A = this chain, B = another copy of it.
Amino acid sequence: MSVRRELHTPSRTIMTPGPVEADPRVLRVMGTPVVGQFDPAFTNIMNETMAMLRELFQTENRWAYPIDGTSRAGIEAVLASVIEPGDSVLIPIYGRFGLLLTEIAERYGAKVLTMECEWGKVFDPEDIIQEIQQARPKIVAMVHGETSTGRIHPLREIGEACQAYDALFIVDAVATVGGCEIKVDDWKIDAAIGGTQKCLSVPSGMAPITYNDRVADIIAKRKKVERGIATQADSTRLSGNRPIISNYFDLSQLEDYWSERRLNHHTEATSMLYALREGVRLVLEEGLEERFERHRVHEQALQTGIKGMGLELFGDESCKMPVVTCVQIPEGIDGESVRNMLLTQFGIEIASSFGPLAGKIWRIGTMGYSCRKENVLFVLAGLEAVLLRHGAAIEAGKALQEVLHFYEETETKAVL
């Protein structure tokens, strides 16, 4: 490369299920100068972030901190720290990210038991509970919101069953945290993993996790302090449990780093932590309920527009994820050609899907900072124009009229 030009990115309206537009206030704090990892000013920021994460996850758990990696790093850290070879793990799969849980659990030696349902639906919680009763797994792992199919799963009854049958309940809340209700303590979730680049509107690169004492107890039994920083007291391991394979994802070491002991592990990703702290602060400032309601309003607006132009939604409406709307690609229309024209002509990004849904649906996100009126109006305007350009039988002009009417009504109600 002879010319090394300065970084330049085009303007984009990002309406995918992530990564979405980062909040400009989050981007701004990323320019804050670095401070050292053991500087009291920095460890204070670590503690503040932990406190705010507890509020975000609606938990009293001691442990709530980020893994320095993308969302799947958080998932792997939890699974790798909990699963010992031979452990039984029940994974109800209703989309691609359930498959990812299976993949990771198997790599760490779990005996995985899966249940599968048609993509676009979720399970009857009773079926899962029955499976727990019969199989008595050590762990039940599942996805809260499946962006691949746009479905959200009820968790409360499953959490209660897990507690009753002494299984650990691990939940991938990557796509829901900060956008949809997730009550870690109330729902008896033992460990939850969130994502940054979706409803939190923080760039990808960190994964906030939280877990309770049931999980912490397992981790403690597998604890091993690394040579080079261990003291005499650390050198004897009392239990016969196998140490955690990964060093980077070893939550027992991360606890020593995120608590008073401040034992060096990695060097915390300074600027990403600034960003996460700001992203969560903005969520709490907006208010969890208010934020969830905002996501619901724009989801309704988007659906109104999609239906208004004559398109059909994909999937079972009763378990639709409020922050992702899946749209059937009309017969005879090349979905990728539509996405491409939206990007190159309008600078708007929407998503395709995976596996059995590839080429069949588009996925439109309404997440975090991207979830706002002008974005909803713009994606509908763009989609309508591009579909007309592709010869689709779309009713011109109706979508935006109906959505404007919806917003006017909603705003009137909000004033009353």
Contacts and interface: CB of A to CB of B under 8 A. Distances in A.
Interface of A: 1, 4, 6-7, 9-12, 14, 16, 18-22, 27-37, 39, 41-42, 45, 48, 51-52, 55, 68-73, 76, 80, 96-97, 99-100, 102-104, 107-108, 148, 197, 203-205, 226-229, 243-249, 264-272, 274-275, 277-278, 281, 284-285, 343, 349, 354-355
Contact of A70 (B39, B45, B68, B104): B68
A247 B349 contact: no
B197 A267 contact: yes
A71 B247 CA distance: 12
Nearest 8 CB-CB pairings of A with B = A205-B269, A99-B228, A70-B266, A30-B30, A203-B271, A96-B228, A204-B267, A1-B51
23 contacts: A4-B48, A4-B285, A12-B34, A12-B39, A19-B34, A19-B37, A19-B267, A39-B343, A69-B248, A70-B269, A76-B248, A99-B227, A99-B228, A103-B228, A103-B247, A107-B243, A107-B244, A205-B272, A228-B355, A229-B354, A245-B245, A269-B272, A271-B275
Contacts of A108: 245
A104 B247 contact: yes
A22 B27 contact: no
Contact of A107 (B52, B247, B269, B284): B247
Given A96-B229, A277-B7, A354-B229, A270 B203 contact: yes
A10 B277 contact: no
A228 B100 contact: yes
B76 A18 contact: no
A253 to B, nearest CB: 10
Contacts of A269: 70, 203-205, 272
Tell me which of A22, A27, A100, A103 has the highest count of chain B C-beta atoms within 10 A of its own C-beta.
A103
Nearest to A281: B4
Contacts of A243: 107
Contacts of A343: 39
Contacts of A247: 72, 76, 100, 103-104, 107
A216 B145 CA distance: 36
A32 B7 contact: yes
A48 B8 CA distance: 12
Given A107-B244, A197-B267, A203-B269, 7 more contacts: A7-B274, A19-B36, A20-B34, A28-B31, A72-B266, A204-B266, A271-B275
Contacts of A229: 96, 354-355
B41 A33 contact: no
A100 B73 CA distance: 20
A265 B76 CA distance: 13
A4 B50 CA distance: 12
Contacts of A204: 37, 68, 266-270
Contacts of A31: 27-28, 30-31
Contacts of A16: 36
A227 B275 CA distance: 32
A349 B39 contact: yes
A204 B104 CA distance: 26
A72 B27 contact: no
Contacts of A36: 12, 14, 16, 19, 349
A247 B45 CA distance: 30
A97 B229 CA distance: 10
Contacts of A354: 228-229, 264
Tell me which of A203, A244, A275 has the highest count of chain B C-beta atoms within 10 A of its own C-beta.
A203
Contacts of A19: 34, 36-37, 267, 270
Nearest to A16: B36
Contacts of A14: 34-36
Contacts of A227: 99, 102-103
